[in-house]
Amino acid sequence: MRRFETLTDFIRQTDGQFRIFDMGRRVSKLSADTFQKVENGHIPYPLPFLHQAWIGVLLWNPKQQDQNVVWFLKLPLDEQGYLVQAARDDFLARLLENLMNNQG
């Protein structure tokens, strides 16, 4: 299985579509471009809550309507509001390991 650097990379390789939401103080849409900039460390997380990025990811494939997925993620931010890369990388590694184990 291919090595992915970010959640955005992983999500974009699926056959489905996705939408990302901030779930901190209120539910609001985050653009894929903004989230990718956050993941790459180019900008701080725009709507931090309690030093965390509270994120909802909705994944769906119009061809497989019974296989929609919602992830609720709480990822730590550093003192400047940037995503802690190690926490994101750990989640991504566990996700990929889980997928490999389920394939066979």
| pTM for this entry | 0.83
List strands edge to edge, sheet with 17-22. 28-30, 17-22, 52-60, 69-76
Residue type for position 74: K
Dump pLDDT digits (tens) for 30-61: 999 999 999 999 999 999 999 999 999 999 98
In eight-state DSSP terms, residue 86 is H
**Distance from C-alpha of 92 to C-alpha of 27, rounded to nearest angstrom:** 23
